[in-house]
Structure 1
Amino acid sequence: MSGYSVNSVVWMILFKVLLAATILLVISSGVRSQHQPPNCHGTCSQFPDCDAHCKFIGYVGGKCTAPLCCCS
């Protein structure tokens, strides 16, 4: 082989396979997180201002879809 030992070629192939698997895992987890259903925390009577409650706990907003307060 021209300058490379068999051992270094095996390690290079293994590194490239692991790198490709990591990239695919990161991309697929990002795609899944964009399509999550709303997260409902309780009833509308528990959270009269559903939008403010959801924003307070870190969501973009919330909507009371009777009878549940759902954040998204």
Structure 2
Amino acid sequence: MSTAQVLSELGISEATLHRWQATYGSMTRSEAKELQHLREENNSRLKRLLGQAELEKQRGRNCRKGNF
């Protein structure tokens, strides 16, 4: 199976493959794992902050309605 066939089956364009290769191609396995770990930590932190912001927003709505 050719690279083009695999990309087609996965729904990935050749441009995306080349961008990934340019970005991640020179990384070692440990560097890639560290990058993944950092991204996961950052996503967790952002989700937590979003949850806090949503709670504060809801509290503000409740206060405006007189629900304490």
TM range (shorter): 0.3 to 0.5
Greater gyration radius: 1
- Higher fraction of strand: 1
- Higher fraction of helix: 2
